[in-house]
Amino acid sequence: MNSRLAWHPLESSAGEAVRARECLFMLTTEQKASPKTKRVVILGAGFAGLAAAKALGSSSFDVTVIDRHNYHLFQPLLYQVATAGLSPADIASPIRSILSGHKNTHVILADVSAINVDEGTVIAEDRHVAYDVLIVATGAQHAYFGHDDWAAHAPGLKRVDDATYLRRRILVAFERAEAEPDVDRQRRLLNFVVVGGGPTGVEMAGAIAELARKALAADFRKIDPRDARVILVQGLPKILPAFPPALSDRAREDLERLGVEVRLNQTVTQCDVDGVALGTERIAAATVVWAAGVMASPAGSWLGVETDGVGRVKVNPDLSVPGHPEIFVIGDTSHCASASGAPLPGVAPVAKQQGEYLARLLKARFLGKNYAPFRYRDFGMMATIGRKSAVAQLWGVHFGGLLAWLLWSAAHVYYLIGFRNRLAVMMNWMWNYFTFERGTRLITGLSGSQVHDMGRPPPM
């Protein structure tokens, strides 16, 4: 969740209120737990917030989850929605349904506009929600490195709306190319640029290439979708920089076999309606996808605490905010140091483990017990390139190919919430695998002339 929260200092006796809440919250082993039910408010129902809410279900806490959306989204598969492999309903589940079995948990659908740290309240539209414990799990947003105007021409992939918009844009590009008599404009329509060589960029580039070369290959009469040019731009010497060099090289080779042009050590210097510039080279493209970086939600400014270079709140080993033991920041919004001192990556396993850990911590402290600092259990990393192709680093073992792809598929199905979603994704993947078809190639929200006007550049 990326709630639009803002920091608004409100008048109160700040020092006394904070000290009183610290005394209430920091129970020691010699103290007895208060019989009063503690109010836990969780901002965000992403991986971190939802994991905390589920683990606190049926506990002695009164839990309130606030999110601007009514669904939990499985973000790792958003790129498959954007490339017509899955529908949004396959990777999203209603928050209320997920938490319906926890009678101590309440859900509020709202944008949060302020946090009053001194009074211990969150303002969510017309509600003032009081908390004894606040868990901030508001995620991350796209980072354009000082070029926010590029967002209009190079959308990222964080929300369902982003994915359906990109699906529409990609499919419309082929439709417009079919009807375009001008060769130069047709070429621009069939150029797709993906900026960023991390897992999202690699998976997106591979999926667009497969869509063009397999699923759409026989659908058009005037154009050959296999002529589409997919370009992956990476500012570093290798793609998938968090992976070992051998796996990064293998992923690049697999992408190139799919027909993707991989540009290393190159950065975008300009992005507009006509395409992108890589230094002095100009690439005309109707579709640009931004996967080059993220920044945390502005939680640090809301709370008035120290953040790192990308806006993540620097937290204590128990994930609490320095000076505020009743406030915790987890997930992509949190700068939590690993054993080596480097911040933990912003990936789903970290967020889920932090949410589950925090629930155990709160239960222990409520009983007046101490609890060990958070420690991340790293089982490894995986990224898929395309059909039957993936790379994996699991338990210290590096491998790729079909086995890695099968493990990647099994892991993603396993972590989906709900039997219906798991079944739907498995059936879609089996259909795609054996037929090369993509059953969700729907252009929604546009019709007729709107399709042909979408993203049209100025007259040449």
DSSP string, 220-289: -SSS-GGG-EEEEE-SSSSSSTTS-HHHHHHHHHHHHHTTEEEE-S----EEETTEEEETTEEEE-SEEE
Q: Which residue has the tokens 């290439």?
A: 209
Q: CB under 8 Å to 208, separation ≥6 — which residues?
A: 83, 170, 192, 194, 228, 230
SS3 label, residue 199: helix
Cα(first)–Cα(last) distance of the chain, in Å?
Answer: 41
Residues found in the chain? 460
- Which amino acid does the sequence have at 206? G
CA dihedral 443, 448, 450, 452 (to 10 degrees): 90
- Which amino acid does the sequence have at 416? L
203 is catalytic: yes
Q: How many CB atoms lie within 10 A of CB 104?
A: 16
CA distance 363 to 207: 43
The alpha helices in 26-113, defined as continuous H runs, are 47-55, 78-82, 95-98
Q: Which residue in the list 203, 281, 306, 356 is annotated as catalytic?
A: 203
Give the residue among 306, 343, 352, 312 at the shortest CA–CA distance from 329: 312
Structure tokens at 42: 């969780």
Catalytic sites, residue numbers: 203
